[in-house]
Structure 1
Amino acid sequence: MTDPASPHELTAYALSLGIAVCGEDNGMPLLTVEFGPTVEGRPGHFHGGATAGLLETAGYAALRTALLAAGRDPQLKPINITVQYLAAGKSRPTFALGRITRLGRRNANIAVEAWQDDRERPIATAVMNILMV
């Protein structure tokens, strides 16, 4: 785990899944999770809940990065999170990246993509609406 003031601090849930920050893309944290028993659903495939957890973690990491860069540190509360499963996650590393589509004073909208071998072929996407208080 990193410094508590860091935007890259991950939750206990994310750490239990094996999610880690593996780099940055356009200033946003790039997250990854290796395939293993903690994320396996049906044999040889990612569990949908683990995929959603990776997407959610990447979205919050992107939002925290943007807020801390702006000198803000509000409490974040989810309004809604919608996940679209596009393809089965296979037994290989999965990556996710969040992108802020709107950052207002009281709420934020985030788009997140998860992929495996080819970033142009996501296995899942999410749209998150977050209240900031």
Structure 2
Amino acid sequence: MIARTPYAQMLGIRSVATDDGAVTLMMPATPSLEGRTGFLYGGVIASLLELACLEAVAQERREPWPKPINMSFDFLRGGLMIDSYAQARLVRVGRRVVNADAICWQGDRDKPIATGRMHLLLD
């Protein structure tokens, strides 16, 4: 759902089905996403995490565009110029606010390159 948005398409993001039924977003490394030589720009990693959180809300609540209240990202290691993956889960769903967290990795899910948290306001 979120992968069809113009911004996600500009980044080349697409949905990848997994065995457990969770939606994973994949962002291919392209020269236009490079920051310092040999590494992805941190902003696109943050965007991938944000879109993963929005995708988790869209899948669970069928509300594709809740309003972000705040976002926080932790960059754990440099993102190499290889395909990146992100997956989010809803931590808490209230009447008005959803809390989500996401993880971004390359190659090995157990070695994340970044994590993120979002709080979103539901309509």
TM over 0.5: yes
Matched, 1:104 2:98: no
- 1:47-126 paired onto structure 2 within 5 Å: 47-68=41-62, 73=63, 75-126=65-116
Unaligned runs of 5+ in 2: none
Aligned to 2:9: 15
Q: Percent identity?
A: 37
Matched, 1:31 2:25: yes
Secondary structure of residue in 2 paired with 1:124:
strand
Distance verdict in 2 for CA 1:40–1:110, change over 3 Å: same
Which AA in structure 1 matches 2:29? F
Structure 1 ranges of 4+ moved more than 6 A: none
Q: Provide the TM-score with structure 2 as the length reference.
A: 0.92
Distance in 2 of aligned mates of 1:41 and 1:25: 33
In the alignment, is the contact (CA less than 8 A) between 1:46 and 1:88 conserved in 2?
yes
Which AA in structure 2 matches 1:39? L
In the alignment, is the contact (CA less than 8 A) between 1:45 and 1:88 conserved in 2?
yes
Structure number with higher helix proportion: 2
Distance verdict in 2 for CA 1:75–1:112, change over 3 Å: closer
Q: Provide the TM-score with structure 1 as the length reference.
A: 0.86
CA RMSD of aligned residues (A): 1.6
Unaligned runs of 5+ in 1: 1-6
In the alignment, is the contact (CA less than 8 A) between 2:55 and 2:64 conserved in 1?
no
Deviates more, 1:110-119 or 1:23-32: 23-32
Distance in 2 of aligned mates of 1:80 and 1:24: 28
- How many residue pairs end up in the alignment? 123
Per the TM alignment, residue 67 of structure 1 is displaced from its structure 2 partner at its CA by 0.3
Distance in 2 of aligned mates of 1:78 and 1:127: 11
